A and B are shown apart, each in its own frame.
Chain A
Amino acid sequence: MIELVNVKKVFNAGRPSEYSALNGISLNIEENKVTVLTGPSGSGKTTLLSIIGCMSRPTAGRVKMRGREITSLPERFLTDVRRKSFGFIFQQHNLINGITALENVMLPAYPLGERRSALKERATRYLGQLNLQDKASSQIEWLSGGEAQRVGIVRALINNPATIIADEPTAHLDTKLSHRFMEIVENFKAEGRTVLITSHDPLVYKSSTVDRVIKLRDGQIEE
């Protein structure tokens, strides 16, 4: 379970452009469930997601993962937790141009020092599970939007993380692909993973796969 205790995030503190993105968020995200954060743009969804995913630190408050406090961790430990516990799926797929799909998928696993042949085998297998085996050696620039999104999903899974974080995953997908995405999310749940999604796409937050919807407005949870 991921526990947030009074999390605040302020940007540009002390300057005229000071902006409070999160104003004291306290919530518990249950394990092995699909949780969706929804709300208008500027409500703090992405900020909250990046704090939970160990990509940034709050200005105040704490985040605990399975009882272990993660916001105070020194840098080297934080990156270790992030690498092993979270898989990220971005709105813009954020794959690296100039290298193949397979290489993109293997990237997050390099720091863990696994033997390359074993890693390659696993990455190819995961790509096969999403019907991307023919595209493994393709350059990213040649993939369609949906294919790139799926490569991004495989990349998120390569280190077998317990939690998947997805930020507006269906923003650039048509209806058919969006439904496909929600099926993949259902699979995640079946595999025992926790899923956290931000979206203002009704197709996502009204889906039957979703267990809980949290509404954010102006950096706070709306009851």
Chain B
Amino acid sequence: MLLLHPGVIANLLASLIIAVMMLYSAFYGVQILRHWDIESGSELQLVLERKTYLVSTVLSYVFALQLLSLFMYVFTADNLHPLFVGAMCAAGTLNLNAFGYPTLLLKMFNFILAGVWLILNHADNQGYDYPLIKKKYALLAVVAPLILIEALLEFAYFLGLRADVITSCCGSLFSSEQGDGLGSDLAALPPGPMIWFFYGTVFVTLASGLYYYLRGKGGYFYSFASMVFFLTSIVSIISFISLYIYELPTHHCPFCIVMSEYDYIGYLLYIALFIAAVAGVGIATLIPLRGIESLREVIPGLTRKLTMTSLVLFFGFASVVTYRIAASNLIM
């Protein structure tokens, strides 16, 4: 009975909690968006002020859980692979029905949104007059339906798992020759030019981040660069980084690196990458807010912290990748 697997239960439970809390919070969010008026002393306004304290706190924990759920999902899929013929890692498990990969992609997107919301919420809490309250709940209004859809997809995936299906192994999903999915297209990218492009992106991103940190200019550019770094890194993992980690010239799978046999290096790389991406996007979200009176002194400090966080993580990612390529027994 697949449903009794602790990983599956944990994922579904988390998904349910998050979805329910989203609905509850979105309900109050709509109220706040419609009736909030800091100048008014009406009873409704004071009730909303009290309510937002509770709702924001609940949402902070819920969104933190959402961040965790991305990795919990991958971990569970990886953990389940021995149960399915043809699956040797999470890639195979996710391919068992049509909902596995869409759930993953939506989870990745929602990770970024959840992270941005947490940054926005933190900034809002630093101001004495709830300066970002409407923006915060407007973002919630956008995120909530996406998270609900994600919950539906996740339930459809886990409840639709059948043990009598043979799934494709990641060798063929990410094969550079056979197959015509996105995985194969990414795997087929020529490694040589890709290595140049990757390191070029690393250099530009780290340089622009350092410049922004020291001079305070070019924040938007760095934010954009960090998104490019994020996407490039994921493509690079499939294109060539994985080959060096596995020491296999044809194995492009981005999921096998989370396995224990590879010292869980996948989690290290992906967690660093995703958090850095959130920090990068967070910078672009905060910069336009620096004019707000109650946040004037707070925003620069926050953007600096986000910059340093993302720089350290990007640099760490690039270092670990470079080390693994250099120390690898594979010679391309």
Asked if chains A and B are in direct contact (CB within 8 A), the reply is yes
Partner of B43, one of A60, A71, A74: A60
Most central of A57, A74, A76, A77 by chain B CB within 10 Å: A74
Interfacial chain B residues near A8, Cβ < 8 Å:
43
Are B53's CB and A71's CB within 8 A? no
Partner-binding segment picked from B122-130, B139-147, B200-208, B262-270: B122-130
- Produce 1/0 per residue, B38-59, CB < 8 A to A: 1001110110011001000000
Partner of B53, one of A6, A62, A75: A75
**A interface majority secondary structure:** mixed
Interface size class of B (residues with CB under 8 A): 10 to 19
Flag whether A5 is at the interface (Cβ < 8 A).
Answer: yes
Interfacial chain B residues near A74, Cβ < 8 Å:
53, 125, 128, 130
Using CB atoms, name the residue of chain B closest to A77.
B128
Are A6's CB and B46's CB within 8 A? no
Are A57's CB and B50's CB within 8 A? yes
- Produce 1/0 per residue, A37-66, CB < 8 A to B: 000000000000000000001111110000
In the assembled complex, the Cα of A76 lies from the Cα of B49 at a distance in Å of 13
Number of A-B contacts (CB under 8 A): 34
In the assembled complex, the Cα of A6 lies from the Cα of B40 at a distance in Å of 11
- The answer to whether A59 and B41 touch (CB under 8 A), given A73-B128, A74-B128, A74-B130, is no
In the assembled complex, the Cα of A72 lies from the Cα of B42 at a distance in Å of 11
In the assembled complex, the Cα of A74 lies from the Cα of B45 at a distance in Å of 13
In the assembled complex, the Cα of A77 lies from the Cα of B294 at a distance in Å of 12
Interfacial chain B residues near A6, Cβ < 8 Å:
41
Partner of A57, one of B38, B46, B125, B129: B46
Interfacial chain A residues near B50, Cβ < 8 Å:
57
Interfacial chain B residues near A61, Cβ < 8 Å:
41
Interfacial chain B residues near A72, Cβ < 8 Å:
38, 45-46, 49, 129-130
Q: How close is A25's CB to chain B, nearest CB, in angstroms?
A: 12
**Interface positions of B (Cβ within 8 A of A):** 38, 41-43, 45-46, 49-50, 53, 125, 128-130
A-B contact pairs, 6 of them (CB 8 A): A5-B41, A57-B50, A72-B46, A72-B49, A72-B129, A77-B128
